[in-house]
Amino acid sequence: MNSTIFSYFSQSKELSTIISGLSKSLGFDATSLVAFIVFAIACLVVVGALATIGGLGTYAERKISADLQARQGPNRVGPYGILQFLADGVKMILKEDIIPANADRFTFILAPFLCMIGVFATLAVVPFSSGFTLTDLNVGIFYLVGMASLVGVGVFLGGYSSNSKWSMLGGMRGASQIISYEIPATITIISIVLLAGGLSMGTLIGGQGGMPQEWYMFHNPFAFIGFFVYFISALAETNRAPFDLPEAESELVSGYHTEYSGMRFGLFALAEYIEVFVVCGVATALFLGGYKVPFELGTGAILVEKLGLDIMLAKNIGQVLELGSFFTKTFALYYVVIWVRWTLPRLRVDQLMTLCWKYLTPIAIFNLLGCAVWMYAFNGKSIYSLIFETASTVAGHH
Amino acid sequence: MFSNTLFMLSAALTLGGAFAVVYSQNLMHACIYLLASLFGVAGLYACIGADFLAATQLVVYAGGVVILMLFAIMLTGGTGNKINRYGLEKVAAMGNKKTYFTAGFAAVVTSLIILKIIASVLRAQPSKELAANQVTVEKLGTLLATDHILAFEISSVMLLGALVGAAIISRPRKEKHD
């Protein structure tokens, strides 16, 4: 059985009393009903939180870019302008919703929703903490890759249906770029799957520890290179600078969403910012130890032992620590993504394809082979434990 | 209860999508309906506990095949005028009453024949309860690398052939100097 958020909550006594009480008063087994309600609430929380993070992402982007360019940035709405994204949202909703006369109506309306569906569907397996993962599918990371590819369809259809040259070029560039960069990203993911021995997010993170030397990024040299290959591919897959050719302002006005206005444009932008968060989260989960906290604080066992806390309370504290760990790492990567955007100039199309097919893909395949050889040669031990063992053997011979 | 609901939704999506594909006059829209239908098929796989197959269906069809089909339709101008300059339909209408009737009749007859053939098998083996969410990835991997290695290798040779063919077609032709 896949472990889900419901299986975490069902450890607590309160939930079982609620279930038994409901079963008595309703006259049937209420476990499925309560599970449904728990899932519904959790989905609402995740979608709401991620939409807020997406909105705050636009604010962070403007504030950080302003910082890098020695400007002020938004500073009128709320303290330090932090409510700017709400003002933007209201503006988007109130704007006139224009559909070009010669656009393909059905596709034009569908495209932003495809982007949104693709991104939000991936949230089902994003591991926020060991308990607060909506569901820990057996094929979690594979499902995530498959769902994220819907965004490519959305971008392409958005460009195609607008019936405008800028949109068309942007959509074509977007689709070909997303398809191309999926290959190095997926191969790098496979090399990490090889280290962990499973496709579920729980297995992938379970093989790592809280301390940096236990992360897969520092497991062996190939995984270290793999992190950068994945990060570059993720930047390109989410159409972020320096790979933002699909929406290159200087050539294509605004690329595939040139003809979109109002909230339809807002959905595209929101999907992009949430997708950046998701790929940063995946990078955290695969390479940077995910939600793991040092000294196994996440399980709460040490709190029960040393402080004598209630077991469920200790577990909940552990979950909060894990959430903190995951979000700290992910937001650090998010900052790097924005930082890169305002630092590097945009690539040309041919440079983009050269980088993907002549550099990243061969390096990713080399990393996959390297990881396999490493697992075979060193019995799956990390470089840190190898050094540690050698040192202790040498020290033992005095 | 839950798996029944999932099955109903997936089946409805598959059949509805497939019907819309043949019904729609616009190739681009047909391609989008096909995407919905393929998603339904992934849902059907998930119903019978084949999680890896379902995810593969998403990755291969949603991510790869549908985008390539969209590209092909766009580059060949599939959604232009349906009527040529002589007033004739370039793309024959895929759905009219005659075709629907014939296809429906054929489908009913075929399914009845197939049911008749496999009836003995269905009666002999009562349907077993599915074990909940077994990990199928490892079994699949082991089988692919041992029992079915020949099929695996042959399919990779086919992909290599496709790759070489694409490279030859897209290579700029050399000018002949005589």
Name the residue among A33, A50, A219 with its Cα closest to residue A134.
Answer: A50
Q: Any long-range contacts for A375-381 (C-beta under 8 Å, 24+ apart)?
A: A375/A194, A375/A195, A378/A220, A380/A195
- Count: domains in chain A: 1
Q: Is the pLDDT of residue A86 over 90?
A: no
The verdict on a CB contact (< 8 Å) between B70 and A107 is: no
The amino acid at residue A15 is L
In a domain? residue A2: no
Tell me, yes or no, whether A12 lies in a domain: no
- pLDDT at res. B82: 61
The pLDDT assigned to B48 comes to 81
Residues B141 and B69 in one domain: no
* Domain assignment present for B108: no
Domain boundary among B37, B63, B95: B95
pLDDT single digits (tens) A248-263: 777 777 778 888 888 8
Q: Please choose, from the candidates A250, A251, A252, A255, the residue with its C-alpha nearest in 3D space to the C-alpha of residue A268.
A: A255
- Give chain B positions within 8 Å (CB) of A32: 1-2
Range of the domain at B37: 1-79+90-95
State ipTM. 0.80
Q: Tell me, yes or no, whether B84 lies in a domain.
A: no
pLDDT digit string (tens) for A349-368? 888 888 888 899 999 999 99
Q: A14-23, pLDDT tens digit by residue?
A: 777 777 777 7
Query: At B71, which CATH number?
Result: 1.20.120.1200
Chain-chain contact of B55 with A142 (C-beta, under 8 angstroms): yes
Mean pLDDT value of segment A1-9: 67
Q: Which residue intervals of chain A are DSSP H helices? A: 5-9, 13-26, 31-68, 84-94, 105-122, 140-148, 150-161, 165-196, 201-206, 221-237, 249-252, 262-287, 301-307, 311-341, 349-354, 361-377, 383-396
Comparing A47-51, B67-71, B96-100, the range with the smallest average pLDDT is: B96-100
| Predicted confidence band of residue B91 (pLDDT cuts 50, 70, 90) | low
Lowest average pLDDT, out of A12-21, A63-72, A82-91, goes to A12-21
Q: What pLDDT does A1 receive?
A: 44
Residue B8 domain-assigned?
yes
Partner residue opposite A153 with nearest CB, options B52, B66, B132? B66
Average pLDDT estimate for A194-209: 83
Q: What are phi and psi of A231, to 5 degrees?
A: -65, -45
Smallest Cβ–Cβ distance between B32 and the set A107, A152, A182 belongs to A107
Task: Say yes or no to pLDDT of B161 above 90.
Answer: yes
Type of residue found at A98: I
Whether residue B102 lies inside any domain: the answer is no
pLDDT at A391 exceeding the cut of 50: yes
Judged by a CB distance cut-off of 8 A, whether residue A139 touches chain B is: yes
A20-41 mean pLDDT: 77
Kindly state whether residue B26 falls inside one of the protein's structural domains: yes
Task: Please judge whether A153 and B64 are an interchain contact, meaning their C-beta atoms are less than 8 angstroms apart.
Answer: no
Nearest CB to B67 within list A32, A142, A152: A152
Coil, strand or helix at A243: coil
Measured over the CA atoms of residue A82, residue A243, residue A111 and residue A327, the dihedral's sign is: negative
The answer to whether B55 faces chain A, any CB pair under 8 Å, is yes
Has residue B106 been placed in a domain? no
pLDDT given at position A188: 92
Mean pLDDT comparison of A302-316, A371-385, B66-80, highest-scoring range: A371-385
Residue at A346 is within a domain? yes
Alpha helices in chain B (DSSP H): 2-23, 27-47, 51-57, 66-75, 97-124, 137-145, 149-170
Most confident residue range from A69-83, A125-139, A179-193: A179-193
Q: Is B24 on the interface with A (CB under 8 A)?
A: no
**pLDDT of A237 over the 70 cut:** yes
**C-alpha torsion A154→B45→A190→A288, nearest 10:** 70
Where do the H-state alpha helices sit in A288-398?
301-307, 311-341, 349-354, 361-377, 383-396
Asked if residue B143 and residue B75 are part of one domain, the reply reads: no
Query: What is chain B's mean pLDDT, rounded?
Result: 79
pLDDT band per the 50, 70, 90 thresholds, residue B130: low
Residue B113's pLDDT is 92
Among B24, B59, B76, B137, the residue to mutate for chain A (most A Cβ within 10 A): B59
Does the residue B54 lie in any domain?
Answer: yes
Q: A250 is written with which tokens? A: 């200087």
Q: Percent of chain A scored above 70 by pLDDT?
A: 98
Whether A155 has its CB under 8 Å from any CB of chain B: the answer is no
* Mean pLDDT calculated for residue range A36-53: 86
What is the least distance, in Å, from the CA of A216 to any CA of chain B? 22
Total CB pairs under 8 A between chain A and B: 77
Q: Mean pLDDT over residues B60-78, rounded?
A: 78
The predicted pLDDT at position B95 comes to 58
Looking at residues A264-283, what average pLDDT do you find? 88
Domain total in chain B: 2
CB atoms closer than 10 angstroms to residue A287:
26
Task: Find the CB nearest B63 among A107, A157, A182.
Answer: A182
What pLDDT, on a 0 to 100 scale, did the predictor assign at position A314? 78
B58 contacts in A (CB within 8 Å)? 143, 146-147, 149
What is the residue range of A158's domain? 98-396
Q: Quick one: pLDDT at residue B148?
A: 87
- In this predicted structure, the answer to whether residue B79 has a pLDDT above a threshold of 60 is no
Say if A26 falls within a structural domain.
Answer: no
pLDDT value at position B129? 58
pLDDT for residue B109 is more than 90: yes
The residue in chain B having the minimum alpha-carbon distance to the alpha carbon of residue A110 is B32
